[in-house]
Structure 1
Amino acid sequence: GLFGFGSSVALGANCTFRKVALESIGGHGIGLAEDLITSIRLHAKGWKSVFNPVVVSRGLVPEDFGSFCKQQLKWSRGVFEVLFAEIPKLAKNLSVWQKISYLAISTYYLVGLTTFIYIIIPFLYFWTCILPANMDFSEFLINGSPIVLIATLIYLFVQRWLSHPETERGIHWRGMILKTATWPVFLLGNLLSVVNAEIPYIPTAKQSVKGLSPYTRPLIAQLIIFILTFFYIVYSRLNTVSEGILILTSDKVWGMFSFALLTIILVIGGIYAAYQSRRLEVEEPWAKINLDDIIS
């Protein structure tokens, strides 16, 4: 992992620093991703970092969809800040593997842009008849399945090094849903970084925030567009498309529809999670936590 490449980074408060190391870079970094800024500056100064796979403390995470989105917006904007502001001036002092590691970390939130492209591809076909690839949907599944299989096997293999594999191991489908459902947040963070727009520091909520988050609106809009497109497809193929064209385009049309349906299923999961926030009870998060279980 990053430790093997000499690139272990600080994550929040779960780390310690040597005083002389922090003094050598003028103190802890300031920014939306202050821990990552501090890490890259320390590595550029020649300091080494050590990863110890032991849980020494536990903290709170967002309990509702809106708080999670705010956290991700802060992180995506902050991580892109490292890409645009820190890497260009510090890269010359980093090792090859450190350059690769920080480049991979700082471009992670481009997943918002790539997901947007993935989502828009089938709709471009429905609206403009532009086919993104000269292959049938069945051919796409055949060629893409090995990639999905290998990626899944790698994902399961690296779980051997989890700190608590008995509780952390598995296929984290909820995380997959959240990652897809927050693509508008990631994309917004990307765009704000390109225009160098500032956003205020957003502390992670320590209690649940009841209510429907405005970050749900892009997901609802995406679902509405999908439904309208579906009815348009059915109407046009029943009333305006000749039988010959129906036969020639059937595989492509329903293949692209299935392509769009894959993300919609995940988006519906995100909308469900957002609506569940309306039913949350605001309470002290540590009240239901048994500290004895954590310590053991």
Structure 2
Amino acid sequence: MSGRFLAIRVLALLSVLLGLNYVLWRWLASVNWDAWWIAVPLVVAETYSLVDTILFAATMWRAKERPRPTSPPQGTVDVFITTYNEPIEMVMATALAAKRITYPHHTWILDDGARDDLAQAAREAGIGYLTRSADWADKPRHAKAGNLNNALLQTDGEFLLILDADQVPDPLILENTLGYFADDPQVALVQTPQWFVNVAEADPLGSQAPLFYGPIQQGKDGWNAAFFCGSNAILRRDALMQLGIVGYVRDLEDSVVTALKASQRMLRRTASDRSLTPEITAEVRRLGEAVQRARAELALGGPIAEVTAAVHAEVQAASRRLVDADMAAIRADVAELAALAVQRDAELDAFVVDESALESLSVREMSPLATIAAVDALVEAVRVDRPGEAQPIQPLATISVTEDMATAMQLHALGWKSVYHHEILAHGLAPEDLRTMLKQRLRWAQGTMQVLLRDNPLRKKGLSVGQRLMYFGTMWSYLSGFAAVIYLAAPIIYLLLGVLPVTAWSVDFFARFLPYFIVNQILFVVVAKGIKTWRGQQYSLALFPVWIAACVTAFANVVLGKSLDFVVTRKDGRAAGGPPWREIWPQLTAMVLLAIATIVGIGRVLAGTADGTGTLVNTVWVGYDLVVLSVLIQAARYQGFQPPVAAAEPTASIEQKEPPWTSP
């Protein structure tokens, strides 16, 4: 172990211990219960930050700096360039660079916009062109994941290099990464950094993420949890196809079991009707026994197709024997069932049975034959050919508007491994205006929270403890918006109203808080190893309305069923319109309130109505908040990237290559 990694471990351990000492003291001895309405939220926010510290320390505990792969590159490769509405010139620049990759491969443009002029440009350049097949018409499209899934079933390369339309690859990207797959046949994914060439030195939009594409991914890699980031990654086709098949089987099994349970409830309800004749009651009970047998066979691993076919045959036989029942009642009941019982979730790749609708059906009066027809409709709706989908098997995860993290987590849960290769091998374009950047960050956060709500890593089977923590740590970070509101509100409340959230600004407070804060900052400095991280720290607080909006909209989507729009990030220059002041009004309002609170607080000290120590502490706190939030004013006024006269020096922590294009 190197001296640097030993220092990281010592600092990580100290940071956690000092944080526990401070937060426990805050809960047990310093909460001002007379002002519980701000004191309790503040200590909860501090507890949130401590958990964040623990997760970061765990991430860095096993950080891995990998050597280059020892095996030579081998295997067939398809290069996928995904596009929807990006300029054709941009797409073709990436495609032509991909064609020049030195390792033998086949380059494909995956055009979700189905543009004839792009198809023609691809043909003229000798580049493959794919768009959605007719099977996708009037079916859930699943955004980028659907585009990739469509291409997977039309190509046959053993490995897939996935690139966004703006990510121009280095000619050696495959030469330098394919060896990992030969070194270890369990490797399913190799992720390389994303680096942007149209970012100013000051990086006012915080587009570069050298801390993430570096120490953090290396830390996750140490736990075999480095995840797919949507582009600049190589994936093993066999792993993706296994993922698709396993997901298909699991979803189908869950859907069939749910349908059979609902069927059994309806049959039991009908059989309990004392007004029925003994013959009809016996028929309904016989069918209920058939459904029970089907459930038992499924539990023992029986083939789904055979089990559902047997139930369908029993239903048909029962229907013929009861055909003289009241047909009018049947039509009404079956029509209601068809509309309510089984639906397809457009984002979650599975059949979804409307439990509330089935519950209402199970407690209402239905004619016997209508109940039997309902059972048949439920079983038919979960056919193995998945008529509601364009293709039965969807290898890349479709449970989120961002397919990358969800796919990687499911691969890890199946026992596959991932690699983070710390070398810039593609150069892309970042958003050049604040409005576009805000939409991009919102989509990232929404997708991450969708995964948390639909497939919580803490409960996911197949993941190791370390993998659970690594995935949860990324998801946990997007809850910071709620803590940020408290951190902004607390000093304002004290300076304006004199309400103290702690019992006193005593020696005990500073003796516990300052060591925790200082060691935490030193840990960041040592981990960063010269990387500029301040801009990332600013945006983690300054984008608090975005993080809150992402949590709320993701919850509304997953729990309440409200739609969630997918927005493709614009990367072809600044969006139309002036500075988006309206889109950052919460931050601007907070800055105004912080400034007013500072003036009032100082005035109260001069008037002798406020404590000098408390005012000083909170004034420093306010100053820090204002400096952090000020990045948004700079970002709103940003006029876009101006290419430097001379090429920038390579980043110290990442081996940086010149982009393979001749002009920015």
Correspondence for 1:195 among 556, 560, 563: 556
Higher mean displacement: 133-142 or 179-188: 133-142
Which residue identity lines up with residue 584 of structure 2 in the other structure?
T
Shift of 1:179: 2.6
CA distance in 2 between partners of 1:113 and 1:80 (Å): 14
Tell me, yes or no, if the aligned pair for 1:137 and 1:255 is still in contact at 8 Å.
Answer: no
CA distance in 2 between partners of 1:95 and 1:40 (Å): 11
Higher mean displacement: 148-157 or 43-52: 148-157
CA distance in 2 between partners of 1:58 and 1:89 (Å): 34
CA distance in 2 between partners of 1:137 and 1:256 (Å): 14
* SS at structure 1 position matched to 2:428: coil
The corresponding residue for 1:209 is 575
Tell me, yes or no, if the aligned pair for 2:228 and 2:405 is still in contact at 8 Å.
Answer: yes
* SS at structure 1 position matched to 2:456: helix
Tell me, yes or no, if the aligned pair for 2:413 and 2:460 is still in contact at 8 Å.
Answer: yes
* SS at structure 2 position matched to 1:54: coil
- 1:28 matches 2:393: no
The corresponding residue for 1:257 is 619
Deviations 1:138-175 (A, max 9, x none): 87555433333323332233345xxxxxxxx3333223
* SS at structure 2 position matched to 1:136: coil
Correspondence for 1:107 among 454, 476, 481: 476
Alignment of 1:143-162 (within 5 A): 143-159=512-528
CA distance in 2 between partners of 1:250 and 1:256 (Å): 10
Correspondence for 2:597 among 229, 234, 241: 229
Higher RCO (Cα < 8 Å, 6 or more apart): 1
CA distance in 2 between partners of 1:89 and 1:251 (Å): 43
Higher mean displacement: 202-211 or 87-96: 87-96
Correspondence for 1:16 among 212, 222, 234: 234
CA distance in 2 between partners of 1:189 and 1:280 (Å): 26
The corresponding residue for 2:653 is none
Relative to structure 1, is the Cα distance of residues 203 and 35 closer, same or farther in structure 2, using a 3 angstrom cutoff?
same
CA distance in 2 between partners of 1:137 and 1:201 (Å): 50
* SS at structure 2 position matched to 1:8: coil
* SS at structure 1 position matched to 2:659: helix
* SS at structure 2 position matched to 1:2: helix
Relative to structure 1, is the Cα distance of residues 260 and 45 closer, same or farther in structure 2, using a 3 angstrom cutoff?
same
| More strand by percentage | 2
Structure 1 unaligned runs (5+)? 161-168
Which residue identity lines up with residue 107 of structure 1 in the other structure?
W
Shift of 1:7: 0.9
Correspondence for 1:267 among 622, 629, 648: 629
CA distance in 1 between partners of 2:459 and 2:404 (Å): 16
Shift of 1:270: 1.8
The corresponding residue for 2:114 is none
Correspondence for 2:546 among 185, 197, 214: 185
CA distance in 1 between partners of 2:473 and 2:431 (Å): 25
- 1:64 matches 2:426: no
Deviations 1:219-268 (A, max 9, x none): 21112222333344455566xx6x4x44xx22223322322221112112
Relative to structure 1, is the Cα distance of residues 170 and 18 closer, same or farther in structure 2, using a 3 angstrom cutoff?
closer
* SS at structure 2 position matched to 1:273: helix
Aligned residues: 276
Deviations 1:102-122 (A, max 9, x none): 111111111212212211111
Shift of 1:280: 3.7
Alignment of 1:91-106 (within 5 A): 91-106=460-475
Identity of aligned residues (%): 24
Following TM superposition, the consecutive aligned residue runs of length 4 or more in structure 1 with deviations greater than 6 angstroms are 288-292
CA distance in 1 between partners of 2:506 and 2:430 (Å): 39
The corresponding residue for 1:165 is none
Which residue identity lines up with residue 620 of structure 2 in the other structure?
S
Relative to structure 1, is the Cα distance of residues 147 and 4 closer, same or farther in structure 2, using a 3 angstrom cutoff?
same
